[in-house]
Structure 1
Amino acid sequence: MDLVLLIEQLLNGLQFGVMLFLMAAGLTLIFGVMGLINLAHGSLYMVGAFAAAAVASATGSFTLALIASLAAAAIAGVIVEMVVIRRLYDRDHLDQVLATFALILIFSEGTRWVFGSFPLYLDVPSALSGAVDLPFGISYPAYRLAIIGIGFVVAFGLFLLITRTRIGMRIRAGESDREMIAALGVNIAVLYTAVFALGAALAGFAGALVGAIQSVQVGMGEPVLILAFVTIVIGGIGSIRGAFVGALLVGLTDTMGRVLLPVLFGAFMNPSAATSIGSALASMSIYILMAAILLFKPTGLYGSA
Protein backbone atom coordinates (compact mmCIF):
# COMPACT_ATOMS: atom_id res chain seq x y z
CA MET A 1 0.00 0.00 0.00
CA ASP A 2 1.43 3.37 -1.00
CA LEU A 3 1.52 6.49 1.16
CA VAL A 4 -1.12 8.33 -0.88
CA LEU A 5 -3.72 5.61 -0.40
CA LEU A 6 -2.91 5.35 3.30
CA ILE A 7 -3.41 9.10 3.89
CA GLU A 8 -6.62 9.12 1.84
CA GLN A 9 -8.03 6.31 3.97
CA LEU A 10 -6.98 8.09 7.15
CA LEU A 11 -8.94 11.14 5.96
CA ASN A 12 -11.92 8.90 5.12
CA GLY A 13 -11.72 7.50 8.64
CA LEU A 14 -11.67 11.00 10.12
CA GLN A 15 -14.69 12.01 8.02
CA PHE A 16 -16.58 8.89 9.11
CA GLY A 17 -15.55 9.51 12.71
CA VAL A 18 -16.78 13.12 12.91
CA MET A 19 -20.10 12.07 11.36
CA LEU A 20 -20.43 9.43 14.08
CA PHE A 21 -19.56 12.06 16.68
CA LEU A 22 -22.49 14.24 15.63
CA MET A 23 -24.76 11.24 16.20
CA ALA A 24 -23.06 10.02 19.37
CA ALA A 25 -22.82 13.45 21.04
CA GLY A 26 -26.59 13.85 21.16
CA LEU A 27 -27.06 10.24 22.18
CA THR A 28 -24.61 10.45 25.05
CA LEU A 29 -26.14 13.73 26.28
CA ILE A 30 -29.61 12.21 26.30
CA PHE A 31 -28.50 9.05 28.07
CA GLY A 32 -26.15 10.84 30.46
CA VAL A 33 -28.65 13.49 31.59
CA MET A 34 -31.92 11.57 31.35
CA GLY A 35 -30.81 7.97 31.72
CA LEU A 36 -32.89 7.21 28.65
CA ILE A 37 -32.14 4.58 26.00
CA ASN A 38 -33.39 6.22 22.82
CA LEU A 39 -33.48 3.79 19.90
CA ALA A 40 -35.32 6.41 17.82
CA HIS A 41 -32.24 8.64 17.64
CA GLY A 42 -31.43 7.18 14.22
CA SER A 43 -34.89 8.22 13.01
CA LEU A 44 -34.07 11.84 13.86
CA TYR A 45 -30.94 11.45 11.72
CA MET A 46 -33.23 10.31 8.89
CA VAL A 47 -35.63 13.22 9.47
CA GLY A 48 -32.78 15.69 9.09
CA ALA A 49 -31.59 14.07 5.88
CA PHE A 50 -35.07 14.07 4.30
CA ALA A 51 -35.75 17.66 5.38
CA ALA A 52 -32.45 18.77 3.85
CA ALA A 53 -33.10 16.90 0.59
CA ALA A 54 -36.62 18.34 0.29
CA VAL A 55 -35.55 21.93 0.98
CA ALA A 56 -32.52 21.69 -1.32
CA SER A 57 -34.76 20.37 -4.10
CA ALA A 58 -37.25 23.22 -3.60
CA THR A 59 -34.80 26.11 -3.15
CA GLY A 60 -31.49 24.94 -4.61
CA SER A 61 -29.72 26.21 -1.49
CA PHE A 62 -27.52 23.83 0.48
CA THR A 63 -27.27 26.33 3.34
CA LEU A 64 -31.05 26.44 3.71
CA ALA A 65 -31.07 22.64 3.52
CA LEU A 66 -28.69 22.43 6.51
CA ILE A 67 -30.79 24.92 8.48
CA ALA A 68 -33.90 22.91 7.64
CA SER A 69 -32.25 19.70 8.87
CA LEU A 70 -31.43 21.30 12.22
CA ALA A 71 -34.90 22.79 12.61
CA ALA A 72 -36.85 19.72 11.48
CA ALA A 73 -34.91 17.30 13.69
CA ALA A 74 -35.08 19.64 16.70
CA ILE A 75 -38.85 20.16 16.30
CA ALA A 76 -39.38 16.42 15.86
CA GLY A 77 -37.27 15.84 18.96
CA VAL A 78 -39.29 18.32 21.04
CA ILE A 79 -42.57 16.74 19.96
CA VAL A 80 -41.32 13.23 20.70
CA GLU A 81 -39.93 14.26 24.08
CA MET A 82 -43.11 16.03 25.18
CA VAL A 83 -45.57 13.45 23.86
CA VAL A 84 -43.78 10.13 24.45
CA ILE A 85 -40.38 10.32 26.12
CA ARG A 86 -41.53 12.40 29.10
CA ARG A 87 -43.65 9.46 30.24
CA LEU A 88 -40.68 7.07 30.20
CA TYR A 89 -38.16 8.71 32.54
CA ASP A 90 -39.36 6.80 35.59
CA ARG A 91 -39.88 3.54 33.71
CA ASP A 92 -37.31 0.78 33.38
CA HIS A 93 -35.05 0.45 30.35
CA LEU A 94 -37.15 -2.30 28.78
CA ASP A 95 -40.14 0.05 28.54
CA GLN A 96 -37.89 2.72 27.04
CA VAL A 97 -36.52 0.29 24.44
CA LEU A 98 -39.99 -0.90 23.44
CA ALA A 99 -41.44 2.62 23.21
CA THR A 100 -38.56 4.06 21.21
CA PHE A 101 -38.52 1.02 18.92
CA ALA A 102 -42.18 1.75 18.20
CA LEU A 103 -41.13 5.31 17.33
CA ILE A 104 -38.70 3.91 14.75
CA LEU A 105 -41.59 2.17 13.00
CA ILE A 106 -43.77 5.28 13.19
CA PHE A 107 -41.04 7.52 11.76
CA SER A 108 -40.19 5.02 9.01
CA GLU A 109 -43.77 4.57 7.84
CA GLY A 110 -44.53 8.28 8.20
CA THR A 111 -41.49 9.21 6.11
CA ARG A 112 -42.42 6.63 3.49
CA TRP A 113 -45.97 8.06 3.40
CA VAL A 114 -44.74 11.65 2.95
CA PHE A 115 -41.76 11.13 0.63
CA GLY A 116 -42.43 7.73 -0.93
CA SER A 117 -40.27 4.62 -0.97
CA PHE A 118 -37.72 5.82 -3.50
CA PRO A 119 -34.47 7.42 -2.27
CA LEU A 120 -33.83 11.14 -2.58
CA TYR A 121 -30.54 12.74 -3.54
CA LEU A 122 -28.86 15.79 -2.10
CA ASP A 123 -26.25 17.44 -4.32
CA VAL A 124 -22.92 18.61 -2.96
CA PRO A 125 -22.80 22.45 -3.02
CA SER A 126 -20.97 23.79 -6.05
CA ALA A 127 -18.39 25.59 -3.89
CA LEU A 128 -17.33 22.23 -2.43
CA SER A 129 -17.83 19.99 -5.47
CA GLY A 130 -14.20 19.84 -6.52
CA ALA A 131 -11.06 18.40 -4.96
CA VAL A 132 -8.34 19.97 -2.85
CA ASP A 133 -4.67 19.34 -3.58
CA LEU A 134 -2.88 18.22 -0.44
CA PRO A 135 0.79 17.45 0.21
CA PHE A 136 2.34 14.27 -1.25
CA GLY A 137 0.31 14.67 -4.44
CA ILE A 138 -3.01 13.82 -2.78
CA SER A 139 -6.23 15.10 -4.30
CA TYR A 140 -9.11 14.80 -1.80
CA PRO A 141 -12.78 15.85 -2.14
CA ALA A 142 -13.37 19.31 -0.72
CA TYR A 143 -16.77 18.35 0.68
CA ARG A 144 -15.32 15.54 2.79
CA LEU A 145 -12.67 17.91 4.13
CA ALA A 146 -15.46 20.35 4.98
CA ILE A 147 -17.27 17.63 6.96
CA ILE A 148 -14.09 16.98 8.94
CA GLY A 149 -13.70 20.69 9.66
CA ILE A 150 -17.37 21.09 10.64
CA GLY A 151 -17.11 18.12 12.98
CA PHE A 152 -14.14 19.60 14.81
CA VAL A 153 -15.86 22.99 15.08
CA VAL A 154 -19.04 21.40 16.48
CA ALA A 155 -16.98 19.35 18.95
CA PHE A 156 -15.24 22.51 20.19
CA GLY A 157 -18.55 24.36 20.39
CA LEU A 158 -20.15 21.58 22.42
CA PHE A 159 -17.16 21.51 24.74
CA LEU A 160 -17.56 25.24 25.38
CA LEU A 161 -21.32 24.85 25.81
CA ILE A 162 -20.97 22.10 28.40
CA THR A 163 -18.02 23.56 30.32
CA ARG A 164 -18.37 27.35 30.02
CA THR A 165 -22.09 28.22 30.00
CA ARG A 166 -24.92 28.25 32.52
CA ILE A 167 -26.96 25.74 30.51
CA GLY A 168 -23.88 23.52 30.41
CA MET A 169 -23.56 23.78 34.18
CA ARG A 170 -27.18 22.68 34.53
CA ILE A 171 -26.65 19.79 32.11
CA ARG A 172 -23.63 18.59 34.09
CA ALA A 173 -25.55 18.96 37.33
CA GLY A 174 -28.46 17.03 35.83
CA GLU A 175 -26.08 14.16 35.06
CA SER A 176 -24.89 14.07 38.67
CA ASP A 177 -28.06 14.69 40.70
CA ARG A 178 -31.28 15.62 38.93
CA GLU A 179 -33.32 15.67 42.14
CA MET A 180 -30.98 18.23 43.70
CA ILE A 181 -31.07 20.69 40.78
CA ALA A 182 -34.86 20.37 40.68
CA ALA A 183 -34.95 21.22 44.37
CA LEU A 184 -32.77 24.27 43.68
CA GLY A 185 -35.39 25.68 41.34
CA VAL A 186 -34.22 24.47 37.91
CA ASN A 187 -37.16 23.51 35.68
CA ILE A 188 -36.10 19.94 34.98
CA ALA A 189 -38.78 19.43 32.32
CA VAL A 190 -37.51 22.39 30.29
CA LEU A 191 -33.90 21.21 30.73
CA TYR A 192 -34.77 17.72 29.48
CA THR A 193 -36.62 19.09 26.47
CA ALA A 194 -33.71 21.39 25.60
CA VAL A 195 -31.17 18.55 25.85
CA PHE A 196 -33.35 16.27 23.75
CA ALA A 197 -33.81 19.00 21.12
CA LEU A 198 -30.05 19.61 21.00
CA GLY A 199 -29.32 15.91 20.57
CA ALA A 200 -31.98 15.61 17.88
CA ALA A 201 -30.63 18.65 16.00
CA LEU A 202 -27.11 17.19 15.98
CA ALA A 203 -28.44 13.90 14.62
CA GLY A 204 -30.43 15.68 11.91
CA PHE A 205 -27.41 17.79 10.98
CA ALA A 206 -25.31 14.63 10.59
CA GLY A 207 -27.99 13.12 8.35
CA ALA A 208 -28.00 16.21 6.12
CA LEU A 209 -24.21 16.23 5.76
CA VAL A 210 -24.06 12.53 4.88
CA GLY A 211 -27.07 12.86 2.57
CA ALA A 212 -24.85 14.61 0.03
CA ILE A 213 -22.51 11.58 -0.05
CA GLN A 214 -25.04 8.75 -0.10
CA SER A 215 -28.71 8.48 -0.99
CA VAL A 216 -31.37 9.64 1.47
CA GLN A 217 -33.72 6.76 2.18
CA VAL A 218 -36.02 5.28 4.79
CA GLY A 219 -34.14 3.33 7.46
CA MET A 220 -30.80 5.02 6.82
CA GLY A 221 -30.37 5.93 10.49
CA GLU A 222 -30.46 2.50 12.10
CA PRO A 223 -26.99 1.22 10.97
CA VAL A 224 -25.45 4.52 12.08
CA LEU A 225 -27.27 4.31 15.42
CA ILE A 226 -25.61 0.97 16.18
CA LEU A 227 -22.18 2.47 15.56
CA ALA A 228 -23.11 5.50 17.67
CA PHE A 229 -23.96 3.22 20.60
CA VAL A 230 -20.58 1.50 20.16
CA THR A 231 -18.96 4.93 20.12
CA ILE A 232 -20.45 6.11 23.42
CA VAL A 233 -19.70 2.79 25.11
CA ILE A 234 -16.05 3.09 24.05
CA GLY A 235 -15.79 6.76 25.02
CA GLY A 236 -17.83 6.56 28.20
CA ILE A 237 -21.53 7.30 28.60
CA GLY A 238 -22.28 10.95 29.30
CA SER A 239 -18.89 12.28 28.18
CA ILE A 240 -18.67 14.60 25.15
CA ARG A 241 -14.90 14.17 25.09
CA GLY A 242 -15.38 10.43 25.22
CA ALA A 243 -17.89 10.57 22.36
CA PHE A 244 -15.40 12.52 20.24
CA VAL A 245 -12.43 10.22 20.94
CA GLY A 246 -14.59 7.11 20.60
CA ALA A 247 -16.02 8.30 17.28
CA LEU A 248 -12.57 8.91 15.83
CA LEU A 249 -11.39 5.50 17.04
CA VAL A 250 -14.41 3.75 15.51
CA GLY A 251 -14.13 5.68 12.24
CA LEU A 252 -10.43 5.01 11.81
CA THR A 253 -10.66 1.38 12.93
CA ASP A 254 -13.50 0.59 10.55
CA THR A 255 -12.01 2.41 7.56
CA MET A 256 -8.43 1.27 7.96
CA GLY A 257 -9.52 -2.27 8.73
CA ARG A 258 -11.36 -2.52 5.42
CA VAL A 259 -8.19 -1.45 3.62
CA LEU A 260 -5.39 -3.09 5.58
CA LEU A 261 -6.87 -6.48 6.47
CA PRO A 262 -7.47 -7.64 2.86
CA VAL A 263 -3.89 -6.58 2.05
CA LEU A 264 -2.59 -8.50 5.06
CA PHE A 265 -4.47 -11.69 4.19
CA GLY A 266 -3.52 -11.27 0.53
CA ALA A 267 0.03 -12.26 1.44
CA PHE A 268 -1.16 -15.75 2.43
CA MET A 269 -4.09 -16.57 0.13
CA ASN A 270 -5.68 -15.73 -3.19
CA PRO A 271 -7.03 -12.16 -3.59
CA SER A 272 -10.75 -13.03 -3.63
CA ALA A 273 -10.54 -15.05 -0.40
CA ALA A 274 -8.37 -12.38 1.21
CA THR A 275 -10.90 -9.67 0.34
CA SER A 276 -13.79 -11.73 1.71
CA ILE A 277 -12.09 -12.64 4.99
CA GLY A 278 -10.54 -9.22 5.42
CA SER A 279 -13.87 -7.46 4.92
CA ALA A 280 -15.59 -9.77 7.41
CA LEU A 281 -12.92 -9.16 10.04
CA ALA A 282 -13.02 -5.43 9.36
CA SER A 283 -16.74 -5.41 10.15
CA MET A 284 -15.93 -7.12 13.45
CA SER A 285 -12.97 -4.89 14.28
CA ILE A 286 -14.90 -2.09 16.01
CA TYR A 287 -16.66 -4.58 18.28
CA ILE A 288 -13.34 -6.23 19.08
CA LEU A 289 -12.01 -2.76 19.92
CA MET A 290 -15.01 -2.11 22.18
CA ALA A 291 -14.57 -5.43 23.99
CA ALA A 292 -10.85 -4.82 24.50
CA ILE A 293 -11.43 -1.34 25.96
CA LEU A 294 -14.23 -2.52 28.26
CA LEU A 295 -12.05 -5.39 29.44
CA PHE A 296 -9.54 -2.95 30.91
CA LYS A 297 -11.84 0.04 31.55
CA PRO A 298 -15.46 -1.05 32.05
CA THR A 299 -16.74 2.56 32.18
CA GLY A 300 -15.22 3.46 28.81
CA LEU A 301 -12.27 5.76 28.18
CA TYR A 302 -13.74 8.84 29.88
CA GLY A 303 -16.81 7.49 31.63
CA SER A 304 -17.47 7.52 35.34
CA ALA A 305 -18.81 4.72 37.45
Structure 2
Amino acid sequence: MTMPFIRPRRLRVSAGIRKLVRETELQAGDFVYPLFVVPGDNLEEEIGSMPGVCHYSPDKAVVVAREAYELGIPAVLVFGLPAYKDEQGSSAWDDASPVQEAVRRIKAALPELTVITDVCLCQYTSHGHCGHLVGQTVDNDSTLELLAKTAVSHARAGADMVAPSDMMDGRVLAIRQALDQQGYTDVSIMSYAVKYASAFYGPFRDAADSAPQTGDRKSYQMDPANAREALREAALDVEEGADILMVKPALVYLDIVRQVKDNFDLPVAAYNVSGEYAMVKAATANGWVDERRIVLETLLSMKRSGADIIITYHALDAARWLREEA
Protein backbone atom coordinates (compact mmCIF):
# COMPACT_ATOMS: atom_id res chain seq x y z
CA MET A 1 0.00 0.00 0.00
CA THR A 2 1.27 3.48 -0.82
CA MET A 3 -1.00 5.26 1.68
CA PRO A 4 -1.33 4.66 5.42
CA PHE A 5 -3.86 2.03 6.39
CA ILE A 6 -6.19 4.05 8.65
CA ARG A 7 -7.62 2.09 11.59
CA PRO A 8 -10.34 4.05 13.50
CA ARG A 9 -10.87 0.90 15.56
CA ARG A 10 -7.65 1.65 17.45
CA LEU A 11 -9.64 4.22 19.44
CA ARG A 12 -12.35 1.69 20.30
CA VAL A 13 -10.27 -1.21 21.60
CA SER A 14 -10.85 -0.59 25.33
CA ALA A 15 -13.32 1.11 27.63
CA GLY A 16 -10.60 3.48 28.81
CA ILE A 17 -9.71 4.67 25.32
CA ARG A 18 -13.37 4.98 24.34
CA LYS A 19 -13.98 7.17 27.36
CA LEU A 20 -10.88 9.23 26.65
CA VAL A 21 -12.05 10.19 23.13
CA ARG A 22 -15.77 10.39 23.82
CA GLU A 23 -17.25 13.50 22.21
CA THR A 24 -20.49 13.82 24.19
CA GLU A 25 -20.97 13.23 27.91
CA LEU A 26 -24.37 12.67 29.50
CA GLN A 27 -24.70 13.57 33.18
CA ALA A 28 -27.38 13.97 35.83
CA GLY A 29 -26.76 17.71 35.75
CA ASP A 30 -28.35 17.79 32.28
CA PHE A 31 -31.74 16.61 33.53
CA VAL A 32 -34.97 18.19 34.70
CA TYR A 33 -37.46 15.86 36.38
CA PRO A 34 -41.19 16.55 35.85
CA LEU A 35 -43.56 16.26 38.83
CA PHE A 36 -47.36 16.00 38.75
CA VAL A 37 -48.93 17.42 41.90
CA VAL A 38 -52.53 17.00 43.05
CA PRO A 39 -54.63 18.28 45.96
CA GLY A 40 -54.44 16.46 49.27
CA ASP A 41 -51.89 14.99 51.65
CA ASN A 42 -49.84 11.79 51.70
CA LEU A 43 -50.94 10.86 48.18
CA GLU A 44 -48.82 8.89 45.71
CA GLU A 45 -50.59 7.15 42.85
CA GLU A 46 -48.97 5.70 39.75
CA ILE A 47 -50.23 6.96 36.38
CA GLY A 48 -51.43 3.98 34.36
CA SER A 49 -50.06 5.05 30.99
CA MET A 50 -46.73 6.19 32.48
CA PRO A 51 -45.36 3.35 34.63
CA GLY A 52 -43.04 4.67 37.32
CA VAL A 53 -44.51 8.19 37.18
CA CYS A 54 -46.97 9.23 39.89
CA HIS A 55 -49.39 11.86 41.01
CA TYR A 56 -48.08 13.36 44.26
CA SER A 57 -49.65 15.55 46.87
CA PRO A 58 -47.43 18.56 47.67
CA ASP A 59 -45.93 16.90 50.76
CA LYS A 60 -44.97 13.82 48.76
CA ALA A 61 -43.60 15.97 45.95
CA VAL A 62 -41.01 17.27 48.41
CA VAL A 63 -39.82 13.71 49.04
CA VAL A 64 -39.36 12.99 45.33
CA ALA A 65 -37.74 16.38 44.74
CA ARG A 66 -35.24 15.57 47.47
CA GLU A 67 -34.47 12.23 45.81
CA ALA A 68 -33.81 14.02 42.52
CA TYR A 69 -31.60 16.59 44.21
CA GLU A 70 -29.55 13.93 45.99
CA LEU A 71 -29.00 12.17 42.65
CA GLY A 72 -27.47 15.35 41.24
CA ILE A 73 -30.50 16.46 39.20
CA PRO A 74 -30.53 20.26 39.44
CA ALA A 75 -34.18 21.04 38.69
CA VAL A 76 -37.77 19.84 38.75
CA LEU A 77 -40.61 20.96 36.50
CA VAL A 78 -43.94 21.13 38.34
CA PHE A 79 -47.32 20.45 36.71
CA GLY A 80 -50.58 20.58 38.63
CA LEU A 81 -54.05 19.12 38.69
CA PRO A 82 -56.33 21.59 40.45
CA ALA A 83 -59.14 21.10 42.93
CA TYR A 84 -61.56 22.85 40.57
CA LYS A 85 -61.87 23.86 36.90
CA ASP A 86 -63.80 26.63 35.19
CA GLU A 87 -64.04 28.30 31.79
CA GLN A 88 -61.23 30.76 32.56
CA GLY A 89 -58.92 28.31 34.31
CA SER A 90 -58.81 30.53 37.40
CA SER A 91 -57.35 27.79 39.59
CA ALA A 92 -54.12 28.26 37.60
CA TRP A 93 -53.36 31.48 39.49
CA ASP A 94 -55.00 30.48 42.79
CA ASP A 95 -52.30 30.70 45.48
CA ALA A 96 -53.86 27.71 47.23
CA SER A 97 -53.60 25.41 44.19
CA PRO A 98 -51.29 22.36 44.30
CA VAL A 99 -48.53 23.84 42.12
CA GLN A 100 -48.15 26.90 44.31
CA GLU A 101 -48.27 24.80 47.47
CA ALA A 102 -45.72 22.32 46.12
CA VAL A 103 -43.38 25.13 45.08
CA ARG A 104 -43.51 26.68 48.54
CA ARG A 105 -42.80 23.37 50.22
CA ILE A 106 -40.01 22.32 47.86
CA LYS A 107 -38.21 25.65 48.09
CA ALA A 108 -38.50 25.65 51.89
CA ALA A 109 -37.02 22.15 52.10
CA LEU A 110 -34.54 22.38 49.21
CA PRO A 111 -33.60 26.00 48.56
CA GLU A 112 -30.74 25.02 46.23
CA LEU A 113 -32.97 22.95 43.93
CA THR A 114 -34.19 24.89 40.91
CA VAL A 115 -37.98 24.80 40.70
CA ILE A 116 -39.56 25.40 37.30
CA THR A 117 -43.32 25.65 36.80
CA ASP A 118 -45.37 24.92 33.72
CA VAL A 119 -47.52 27.89 32.75
CA CYS A 120 -50.58 26.86 30.77
CA LEU A 121 -54.34 26.70 31.25
CA CYS A 122 -55.23 23.31 29.77
CA GLN A 123 -55.21 21.49 33.13
CA TYR A 124 -57.32 24.23 34.69
CA THR A 125 -60.02 24.96 32.12
CA SER A 126 -63.26 23.00 31.97
CA HIS A 127 -62.89 22.76 28.17
CA GLY A 128 -59.27 21.55 28.26
CA HIS A 129 -57.83 24.12 25.87
CA CYS A 130 -54.71 26.15 26.61
CA GLY A 131 -56.39 29.53 26.66
CA HIS A 132 -59.57 31.58 26.80
CA LEU A 133 -62.16 30.00 24.54
CA VAL A 134 -64.46 32.23 22.46
CA GLY A 135 -66.92 29.99 20.69
CA GLN A 136 -64.73 27.16 19.42
CA THR A 137 -61.60 29.29 19.07
CA VAL A 138 -58.86 29.95 21.59
CA ASP A 139 -58.58 33.72 21.76
CA ASN A 140 -54.90 34.60 21.77
CA ASP A 141 -54.80 38.10 23.19
CA SER A 142 -57.27 37.66 26.04
CA THR A 143 -55.31 34.59 27.11
CA LEU A 144 -52.09 36.55 27.64
CA GLU A 145 -53.29 38.29 30.79
CA LEU A 146 -54.36 34.95 32.30
CA LEU A 147 -50.99 33.38 31.57
CA ALA A 148 -49.20 36.39 33.06
CA LYS A 149 -51.30 36.14 36.24
CA THR A 150 -50.42 32.47 36.50
CA ALA A 151 -46.69 33.11 36.09
CA VAL A 152 -46.75 35.83 38.75
CA SER A 153 -48.53 33.53 41.19
CA HIS A 154 -45.85 30.89 40.63
CA ALA A 155 -43.10 33.44 41.20
CA ARG A 156 -44.85 34.61 44.36
CA ALA A 157 -44.80 31.01 45.61
CA GLY A 158 -41.03 30.87 45.02
CA ALA A 159 -40.53 29.46 41.52
CA ASP A 160 -37.09 30.12 40.09
CA MET A 161 -38.25 29.79 36.49
CA VAL A 162 -41.54 29.68 34.61
CA ALA A 163 -42.13 27.67 31.46
CA PRO A 164 -45.05 28.81 29.27
CA SER A 165 -46.27 25.87 27.17
CA ASP A 166 -49.46 27.33 25.68
CA MET A 167 -48.04 28.53 22.33
CA MET A 168 -49.97 31.81 22.33
CA ASP A 169 -48.32 34.55 20.29
CA GLY A 170 -46.73 37.19 22.52
CA ARG A 171 -46.93 35.26 25.77
CA VAL A 172 -43.23 35.49 26.61
CA LEU A 173 -43.37 39.29 26.43
CA ALA A 174 -46.59 39.43 28.47
CA ILE A 175 -45.11 37.20 31.16
CA ARG A 176 -41.78 39.04 31.22
CA GLN A 177 -43.49 42.39 31.65
CA ALA A 178 -45.79 41.08 34.39
CA LEU A 179 -42.92 39.48 36.30
CA ASP A 180 -40.79 42.62 36.08
CA GLN A 181 -43.66 44.87 37.14
CA GLN A 182 -44.17 42.75 40.25
CA GLY A 183 -40.47 42.79 41.12
CA TYR A 184 -39.63 39.27 39.94
CA THR A 185 -36.86 40.34 37.61
CA ASP A 186 -34.68 37.38 38.55
CA VAL A 187 -37.32 34.78 37.66
CA SER A 188 -36.32 33.38 34.29
CA ILE A 189 -38.44 32.10 31.41
CA MET A 190 -37.91 28.74 29.75
CA SER A 191 -40.10 29.12 26.70
CA TYR A 192 -41.73 26.18 24.98
CA ALA A 193 -40.57 28.02 21.89
CA VAL A 194 -41.07 25.13 19.46
CA LYS A 195 -43.97 22.93 20.53
CA TYR A 196 -45.45 20.69 17.88
CA ALA A 197 -49.03 19.41 17.67
CA SER A 198 -47.78 15.91 18.37
CA ALA A 199 -49.30 12.46 18.82
CA PHE A 200 -46.68 11.82 21.51
CA TYR A 201 -48.57 13.73 24.24
CA GLY A 202 -51.27 11.13 24.91
CA PRO A 203 -50.02 9.76 28.25
CA PHE A 204 -49.37 13.29 29.53
CA ARG A 205 -52.96 14.24 28.85
CA ASP A 206 -54.01 11.29 30.98
CA ALA A 207 -51.62 12.39 33.71
CA ALA A 208 -52.68 16.03 33.65
CA ASP A 209 -56.35 15.49 32.79
CA SER A 210 -55.83 18.05 30.05
CA ALA A 211 -57.30 16.62 26.84
CA PRO A 212 -59.46 19.18 25.00
CA GLN A 213 -63.18 18.47 25.25
CA THR A 214 -63.74 19.57 21.65
CA GLY A 215 -61.47 20.01 18.65
CA ASP A 216 -57.69 19.87 18.88
CA ARG A 217 -54.69 22.16 19.38
CA LYS A 218 -53.49 22.38 15.80
CA SER A 219 -54.46 26.05 15.51
CA TYR A 220 -51.87 27.05 18.10
CA GLN A 221 -49.31 24.23 18.32
CA MET A 222 -46.94 23.80 15.38
CA ASP A 223 -47.40 21.66 12.30
CA PRO A 224 -44.95 18.70 12.51
CA ALA A 225 -44.09 19.26 8.84
CA ASN A 226 -42.48 22.66 9.47
CA ALA A 227 -38.85 23.34 10.33
CA ARG A 228 -38.26 26.93 9.16
CA GLU A 229 -41.25 28.02 11.20
CA ALA A 230 -39.52 26.63 14.30
CA LEU A 231 -36.69 29.11 13.84
CA ARG A 232 -39.18 31.95 13.45
CA GLU A 233 -40.95 30.95 16.66
CA ALA A 234 -37.65 30.75 18.52
CA ALA A 235 -36.51 34.12 17.19
CA LEU A 236 -39.72 35.78 18.36
CA ASP A 237 -39.30 34.35 21.85
CA VAL A 238 -35.70 35.57 21.99
CA GLU A 239 -36.90 39.06 21.08
CA GLU A 240 -39.57 38.91 23.77
CA GLY A 241 -37.14 38.02 26.54
CA ALA A 242 -36.93 34.23 26.78
CA ASP A 243 -33.91 32.94 28.69
CA ILE A 244 -34.04 29.31 27.49
CA LEU A 245 -35.58 27.86 24.32
CA MET A 246 -37.31 24.49 24.41
CA VAL A 247 -38.12 22.03 21.63
CA LYS A 248 -40.98 19.61 22.32
CA PRO A 249 -41.12 16.66 21.61
CA ALA A 250 -37.44 15.74 21.53
CA LEU A 251 -36.75 12.35 20.00
CA VAL A 252 -38.52 12.73 16.65
CA TYR A 253 -37.47 16.40 16.38
CA LEU A 254 -33.73 16.11 16.92
CA ASP A 255 -33.19 17.92 13.62
CA ILE A 256 -35.06 20.88 15.10
CA VAL A 257 -33.02 20.75 18.30
CA ARG A 258 -29.86 21.00 16.20
CA GLN A 259 -31.20 23.88 14.10
CA VAL A 260 -32.27 25.86 17.15
CA LYS A 261 -28.89 25.23 18.78
CA ASP A 262 -27.01 26.34 15.67
CA ASN A 263 -29.04 29.51 15.16
CA PHE A 264 -29.37 30.95 18.68
CA ASP A 265 -26.97 31.55 21.53
CA LEU A 266 -29.43 30.76 24.32
CA PRO A 267 -29.46 27.43 26.18
CA VAL A 268 -31.64 24.84 24.47
CA ALA A 269 -33.91 22.39 26.28
CA ALA A 270 -35.40 19.24 24.79
CA TYR A 271 -38.50 17.64 26.29
CA ASN A 272 -38.42 13.82 26.19
CA VAL A 273 -42.20 13.60 26.29
CA SER A 274 -44.68 11.14 27.75
CA GLY A 275 -45.29 9.13 24.57
CA GLU A 276 -41.58 8.62 24.06
CA TYR A 277 -41.28 7.48 27.67
CA ALA A 278 -44.32 5.19 27.53
CA MET A 279 -43.08 3.41 24.39
CA VAL A 280 -39.82 2.48 26.12
CA LYS A 281 -41.70 1.30 29.20
CA ALA A 282 -44.08 -0.83 27.11
CA ALA A 283 -41.24 -2.41 25.13
CA THR A 284 -39.36 -3.06 28.35
CA ALA A 285 -42.38 -4.73 29.94
CA ASN A 286 -42.56 -7.06 26.95
CA GLY A 287 -38.88 -7.91 27.14
CA TRP A 288 -38.17 -6.39 23.74
CA VAL A 289 -35.47 -3.88 24.75
CA ASP A 290 -32.81 -3.36 27.39
CA GLU A 291 -34.33 -0.38 29.23
CA ARG A 292 -31.10 0.94 30.70
CA ARG A 293 -29.21 0.89 27.41
CA ILE A 294 -32.02 2.29 25.30
CA VAL A 295 -32.81 5.11 27.74
CA LEU A 296 -29.22 6.25 28.05
CA GLU A 297 -28.70 6.03 24.28
CA THR A 298 -31.88 8.03 23.67
CA LEU A 299 -30.93 10.75 26.14
CA LEU A 300 -27.39 10.85 24.73
CA SER A 301 -28.85 11.47 21.26
CA MET A 302 -30.63 14.54 22.59
CA LYS A 303 -27.45 15.87 24.17
CA ARG A 304 -25.47 15.14 21.01
CA SER A 305 -28.06 16.96 18.92
CA GLY A 306 -27.48 20.14 20.88
CA ALA A 307 -29.71 20.04 23.97
CA ASP A 308 -28.13 21.66 27.00
CA ILE A 309 -31.09 20.60 29.16
CA ILE A 310 -33.13 17.40 28.90
CA ILE A 311 -36.56 17.24 30.55
CA THR A 312 -37.29 13.57 31.03
CA TYR A 313 -39.41 11.19 33.10
CA HIS A 314 -36.42 8.82 32.99
CA ALA A 315 -34.32 11.29 35.01
CA LEU A 316 -34.23 9.42 38.33
CA ASP A 317 -33.34 6.07 36.76
CA ALA A 318 -30.88 7.61 34.33
CA ALA A 319 -29.11 9.51 37.11
CA ARG A 320 -28.75 6.27 39.10
CA TRP A 321 -27.39 4.40 36.08
CA LEU A 322 -24.91 7.14 35.27
CA ARG A 323 -23.70 7.14 38.87
CA GLU A 324 -23.10 3.39 38.65
CA GLU A 325 -21.08 3.85 35.47
CA ALA A 326 -18.94 6.67 36.82
Provide TM-score, normalisation by structure 1: 0.29
Larger RCO (alpha carbons 8 Å, 6+ apart): 1
* Larger helix share, 1 or 2: 1
Provide TM-score, normalisation by structure 2: 0.27
* Larger strand share, 1 or 2: 2
